[in-house]
Amino acid sequence: MKHWGFILIAGLLLSAATQATQVGLIKINGAIGPATANYISRAIDVAATQKDECLVIQLNTPGGLANSMNDIVQAFYASPVPVVIYVSPEGAMAGSAGVYITLAADVAVMAPHSTIGAAHPVELGNEDETTNSIMMQKVGNAYTKVMQTIAEKRHRNVEWAKSSVTASKAITSEEALKMKVIDLIATNVPDLLLKLNGKKINDKALHTASATVVEIPMSAGEKFFQLFWQPEVMMLLMLIAVYGIIAEMSHPGAIFPGVAGALALILLLYMSATLPLNVAGLALILLAVALFIVDIFAPTHGVLTAGGIVSFFLGALMLFNHAPVGYRLPMSWIISTTLVTAAFFVFFVGKGIRAQFSPKRAGAETMVGKTVAALSRIDSQGGKVFIEGEHWNAVSDVVVNKDELVEITGIEGLTLKVKPKTQ
């Protein structure tokens, strides 16, 4: 009887221990960037602190930045907890940088009818396969070796991994499982946990069948930088820099536009270190700004403005064309920013600059040339006129009688110079 009681208690304790296990979960949906790398690294630390059985990363990405991808791969290698990449939901993909990340995980899993590939690097040049520059060949060779190293370390299909870089190969989840590119196919997270249960990673079996899934959310800072580190934001920063600095020049003393423009320019330069700008595209945008400004000073019936619009459009089109998939400017943004910039220079900056060079329309100087009636006799010694609601002293080299019309020819202090107004 005591023997059966002991077995029962041991069974209950074992069951409780099994039910107490948990699995960390994060979701990556979109391009891979610095914020993503920071999120994954922090999630690994959190999962280790929580003593999770493993960290599941639900992934759906077209690709991303090489530096961020390298940081994530290194974080996987140093992770104290097993990392599981789950390309999900159905129809999801792990493209470009996502291929490296998926193959670098301890366990690579995909949902049915999802896709993995291609991993050809495109950050430093055009995606066109006919591009045979020495630089692109070097980059391609380097990333092929990186992919080979990852596949060999995780015991995956090395030949396909290399072909995903050299020949831009992409395959479905079903093909990936047959070719031993991935380890499992799972329809959802519960199915994934059942299939992971008992799998040995670093000589330790996972107990995930009854594990509780605990999602590790993004921090406020990570969410901000995830939104911040986008080509659309960089384009806005560039426009703010241009608008702010030009507005300060056309309206001296406004201060705020100049400060905002300077801050935007500093942030843009900081971000361009991670997401490089196409120099030719940037030059075309600066040329467009120059054409807009020149047309304000030397009107050419819109010829330079039209040239500026075309130059800005082409520059915006080229600005991020070397960036990886997921970090390119949408056509809707290119068209809208072109139209807004053209309108900004034509209406706002143009009026501001012209106002600085136009004749004054207020103050004492505006009275010169006006005709008024003499309130009293005016001679070289003085007299009085009434203009713009005030009485003014007036002098004239020619004697003017009261009520005669005089023309104001100049101002000296608080005295007007006048002369008789001829019919």
Q: Are 150 and 108 in contact (CB under 8 A)?
A: no
For residue 389, report the phi and psi dihedrals to the nearest 5 degrees. Answer: 80, 10
- Helix or strand holding residue 115 (H, E): strand 115-117
Give span(s): CATH 2.40.50.140, the chain. Answer: 364-420
Q: What is the pLDDT of residue 240?
A: 86
Calpha distance 208→48 (Å, rounded): 16
Q: What is the pLDDT of residue 18?
A: 46
HSE, side-chain direction, 13 A CA sphere, residue 192: 26
Q: Are 122 and 108 in contact (CB under 8 A)?
A: no
Residue 285's pLDDT band (cuts 50, 70, 90): confident
The DSSP symbol for 181 reads: S
Q: What is the pLDDT of residue 90?
A: 93
Other Cβ atoms within 10 Å of 342 Cβ, number? 18
pLDDT greater than 50 at residue 124: no
Give span(s): CATH 3.90.226.10, the chain. Answer: 2-218
Calpha distance 267→345 (Å, rounded): 23
Q: What CATH number has the domain spanning 364-420?
A: 2.40.50.140
What tens digit of pLDDT does each residue of 230-267 get?
788 888 888 888 888 777 776 666 778 778 888 888 88
Alpha helices, H only, 214-360: 220-228, 231-250, 256-272, 279-297, 303-319, 331-343, 350-357
pLDDT greater than 60 at residue 138: yes
Residue 307's pLDDT band (cuts 50, 70, 90): confident
Q: Which fold has domain 2-218?
A: 2-enoyl-CoA Hydratase; Chain A, domain 1 (3.90.226)
Name which of 189, 198, 136 is nearest 166 in CA terms: 136
What tens digit of pLDDT does each residue of 154-187 get?
999 999 999 998 888 999 999 999 999 999 999 9
pTM higher than the cut 0.85 = no
Classified as helix, coil or strand, 264 is helix
Q: Are 104 and 149 in contact (CB under 8 A)?
A: no
- C-alpha pair distances (Å), 107 with each of 80, 85, 201: 14, 6, 9
Beta-ladder partners of 392: 385
Q: Scan for tokens 């107490």, then name that residue.
A: 20
Higher pLDDT, 404 or 99: 99
pLDDT greater than 80 at residue 84: yes
> Which tokens hold the place of 386?
């009434």
Q: What is the pLDDT of residue 125?
A: 41
Calpha distance 206→156 (Å, rounded): 20
Give percent of the chain with pLDDT exceeding 90: 34
- C-alpha pair distances (Å), 74 with each of 68, 71, 121, 416: 10, 5, 19, 83
Q: DSSP per residue over 269-289, as a string?
A: HHHHTTSPPPHHHHHHHHHHH
Calpha distance 142→140 (Å, rounded): 5
Mean pLDDT (the chain) is 82
